Structure 1
Amino acid sequence: MERISVPFTGDGAGCGDLTWGQQQVWRAMVEVNTSMSMGGVVPVLDGRTVDDFAGELRFFMSRYPAMRSLLRFAPDGATTQEILGSGEAFLEVHTAASADGAGALAAEVYAGWKARNFDYAHEWPIRMAVVRAGEGGPITHVVVMVCHIAADGSGLAMMVSELAERDTIGSHAATGPLEIAAAQRASGRHTDNAMRYWEAQLRAIEPQRFAGYAKPEGARFRQVVWRSPALYLASERLAARLSVDAAPVLLAAYGVAFGRVAGGGPFASQVIVSNRFRPGLADVVSPLAQNGLVVFDVRGVTAAEAVSRARQASMSASKYAYYDPGTRLALIDRIGKERGEPIDLAVFYNDRRISERPPAEALDEAALPASEMVSETPMPYFNEKLMINVDDVPDTVQITTEVDTAYLPIGDLRRLLQQMEDFTVAAALDPGSPTF
Structure 2
Amino acid sequence: MRVGRASSQPARAPGFRPDSVWTERRARVAETPIDTVVREDQPCGVNSDGATFLRTDPERFRAETDDPAPASRVPPPPEPGATADGTAVVEFTGARGGVAPLTWGQSSIWRLTTWRADGDSYFNMPWTLPVYGRRDLDTVLGALRRLLERHETLRTNFRRTPGGMVQHVTREGRLTVQVVDGGHARPLTAARELAAGLAAAAFDYEAELPVRCAVVTIGGRPRAVAFGLSHLAADGGALGLLAADWRDLLAGNDPPEPTWQPMDQAAFEREGPGAVRGERAVRYWQAVLEKAPAFMFDYPRHPSGEPRFIRILMRSVALGAAAETLAARWSVSTASVLTTASAVLLSTLTGHRRIAMQLIGANRHDPRIGALVGPAAQDGIFMLELPGGTLAEATRIGHRQALTAYRHAHYEPLGLMAMREEVGRRRGGPIDLSAYFNDTRGGGDWPDLPALEQPGDPAAIAALTGRTTFAPAGSWDHVDATTVQFIIGPARETCELHLLADTAYLPRTTVHTLLRGMETLLVSAVAEDVPLDAVAGLCDITPVDRPPGWERSQTGPAGETAEASDPARTGADRVHGETAETTETPETSGSVVAEAIGG
Q: Considering the TM-score relative to the shorter chain, is it more than 0.5?
A: yes
Partners of 1:36 and 1:411 lie apart in 2 by 31
Equivalent position SS for 1:400? strand
Partner residue in 1 for 2:469: 372
More displaced stretch, 181-190 vs 404-413: 404-413
Partner residue in 2 for 1:146: 229
Q: 1:47-70: per-residue Cα shift (whole Å, max 9, x none)?
A: 322212211210111000111110
More displaced stretch, 55-64 vs 43-52: 43-52
1:83 and 2:169 matched: yes
- Which of 266, 269, 294 is the equivalent residue of 1:184? 269
Partner residue in 1 for 2:414: 326
Equivalent position SS for 2:304? coil
Partners of 1:339 and 1:195 lie apart in 2 by 17
* 1:429, distance to aligned residue in structure 2 (A): 1.3
Change beyond 3 A, Cα 1:205–1:100: closer
Matches within 5 A, 1:195-206: 195-206=282-293
Partner residue in 2 for 1:30: 114
Whether contact under 8 Å (1:66, 1:150) holds in the other structure is yes
Q: Which amino acid aligns with 1:24?
A: S
Matches within 5 A, 1:396-435: 396-431=494-529, 433-434=531-532
Whether contact under 8 Å (2:123, 2:231) holds in the other structure is yes
Partners of 1:18 and 1:100 lie apart in 2 by 41
Partner residue in 2 for 1:92: 178
Q: Which amino acid aligns with 2:485?
A: M
Whether contact under 8 Å (1:151, 1:286) holds in the other structure is yes
Partners of 2:89 and 2:99 lie apart in 1 by 25
When the two structures are aligned, how many residues end up with a matched partner? Answer: 432
1:69 and 2:152 matched: no
Q: Which amino acid aligns with 1:189?
A: V
Change beyond 3 A, Cα 1:8–1:420: same
Q: Which amino acid aligns with 1:296?
A: L
Q: 1:335-369: per-residue Cα shift (whole Å, max 9, x none)?
A: 11111121111221111222355694324222123
Partner residue in 2 for 1:118: 203
Q: 1:294-337: per-residue Cα shift (whole Å, max 9, x none)?
A: 00022422011110111011011012111111111111111111
Partners of 1:176 and 1:45 lie apart in 2 by 27
Partners of 1:45 and 1:330 lie apart in 2 by 49
Q: 1:24-64: per-residue Cα shift (whole Å, max 9, x none)?
A: 11111222444523343455563322212211210111000
More displaced stretch, 226-235 vs 258-267: 258-267
Q: Percent sequence identity over matched residues?
A: 29
* 1:258, distance to aligned residue in structure 2 (A): 1.4
Partners of 1:203 and 1:397 lie apart in 2 by 35
CA RMSD of aligned residues (A): 2.3
Matches within 5 A, 1:35-434: 35-42=122-129, 44=131, 46-74=133-161, 78-96=164-182, 98-100=183-185, 105-133=190-218, 137-166=220-249, 167-170=252-255, 172-187=257-272, 188-211=275-298, 213-355=301-443, 356-357=445-446, 360-363=455-458, 364=460, 365-379=462-476, 381-385=478-482, 386-431=484-529, 433-434=531-532
Partners of 1:285 and 1:368 lie apart in 2 by 40
Partners of 1:101 and 1:177 lie apart in 2 by 36
The runs of at least 4 consecutive aligned structure 1 residues that moved more than 6 Å come to 101-104
More displaced stretch, 284-293 vs 368-377: 368-377
Change beyond 3 A, Cα 1:102–1:177: closer
Q: Which amino acid aligns with 2:493?
A: D
Q: 1:371-419: per-residue Cα shift (whole Å, max 9, x none)?
A: 2113332235421312222112123210233333233322222222122
Change beyond 3 A, Cα 1:26–1:380: farther
Partners of 2:184 and 2:245 lie apart in 1 by 30
Whether contact under 8 Å (1:35, 1:147) holds in the other structure is no
Whether contact under 8 Å (1:271, 1:294) holds in the other structure is yes
Partners of 1:172 and 1:101 lie apart in 2 by 34
Whether contact under 8 Å (2:333, 2:399) holds in the other structure is no
Equivalent position SS for 2:457? coil
* 1:279, distance to aligned residue in structure 2 (A): 4.0
Equivalent position SS for 2:431? coil
Partners of 1:174 and 1:407 lie apart in 2 by 48
Partners of 1:171 and 1:69 lie apart in 2 by 21
Change beyond 3 A, Cα 1:51–1:10: same
Equivalent position SS for 1:164? helix
Partners of 1:42 and 1:170 lie apart in 2 by 18
Partners of 2:396 and 2:186 lie apart in 1 by 53
Q: Which amino acid aligns with 2:152?
A: P
Equivalent position SS for 1:343? coil
Partners of 1:361 and 1:21 lie apart in 2 by 40
Whether contact under 8 Å (2:95, 2:171) holds in the other structure is yes
1:8 and 2:89 matched: no
Whether contact under 8 Å (1:261, 1:415) holds in the other structure is no
Partners of 2:506 and 2:475 lie apart in 1 by 15
* 1:173, distance to aligned residue in structure 2 (A): 4.8
Query: Any stretches of 5+ residues in structure 2 without a counterpart?
Result: 1-10, 12-85, 536-599
More displaced stretch, 204-213 vs 359-368: 359-368
Change beyond 3 A, Cα 1:168–1:100: closer
Could you say which structure has the higher helix fraction?
1
Partners of 2:187 and 2:370 lie apart in 1 by 37
* 1:164, distance to aligned residue in structure 2 (A): 2.3
Change beyond 3 A, Cα 1:351–1:312: same
Whether contact under 8 Å (2:361, 2:377) holds in the other structure is yes
Q: Which amino acid aligns with 2:228?
A: M
More displaced stretch, 149-158 vs 385-394: 385-394
Change beyond 3 A, Cα 1:43–1:379: farther
Partners of 1:105 and 1:169 lie apart in 2 by 29
Query: Any stretches of 5+ residues in structure 1 without a counterpart?
Result: none
Q: Which amino acid aligns with 1:297?
A: E
* 1:228, distance to aligned residue in structure 2 (A): 1.3
